[in-house]
Structure 1
């Protein structure tokens, strides 16, 4: 039964790729489509970060060291730090908060 699921996913991924390749160039060159394509990865990454930082059990949110790490990342971004510095500052802040309590 699991192989049927694997094959269905493989066919679905291939169909999605073919659908993307079959879009005419005139559609892809529209300014609205280009703007959406530029902003979509940022929105998806922000949504993934929000889901990971603000976890909960259905009715309440759990605030832990991840929120402090996100705060450190925001501060580093505001100071225009390089990406690697942002990641290290966030991870170090979260690790120190977890170590402290």
Structure 2
């Protein structure tokens, strides 16, 4: 086996073990309320950071204004509780129209 296959197998075993720990320890370990709050906040911060990185960067640089505008339109539509298809199409249409008129 080469190093790549070994690494893939190690990550697969680690992922499975990590997912198994939750149900196995459920009810046996009690986390303080403050730790639960911090974990919840950490998950939100991580998702926002991933969204920002995907919306603002491309190939290590700024993606241009069309993509963030599309993401913003999608966020507004989602906040207004539009159906998912409307959110996706609205975001794509916003970015597409801006790119078509020359706003990169």
**TM-score over 0.5 for the pair:** yes
Q: CA deviation at 1:64?
A: 3.0
Structure 1 segments unaligned to the other structure (5+ residues): none
State the partner residue of 2:11.
9
CA distance in 1, matches of 2:97, 2:58: 22
CA-to-aligned-CA distance 1:52-80 (integer Å, 9 cap, x gap): 1121676x6443311110221233245x1
Alpha-carbon separation, structure 1, partners of 2:59 and 2:82: 35
Change (3 A) 1:7 1:56: closer
Partner of 2:93: 92
Match of 1:52 in 2: 54
> Higher relative CO (CA 8 A, sep ≥ 6), structure 1 or 2?
2
Unaligned runs of at least 5 residues, structure 2? none
Give the Cα separation in 1 of the matches to 2:6 and 2:89: 42
Match of 1:69 in 2: 70
**Deviation string, structure 1 residues 1-32 (Cα, Å, up to 9, x no partner):** 2211111111111221222223241526x644
**What TM-score, normalized to structure 2?**
0.67
TM-score, normalization: structure 1?
A: 0.69
**Size of the alignment, in residue pairs?**
98
Structure 2 CA distance, aligned partners of 1:39 and 1:87?
26
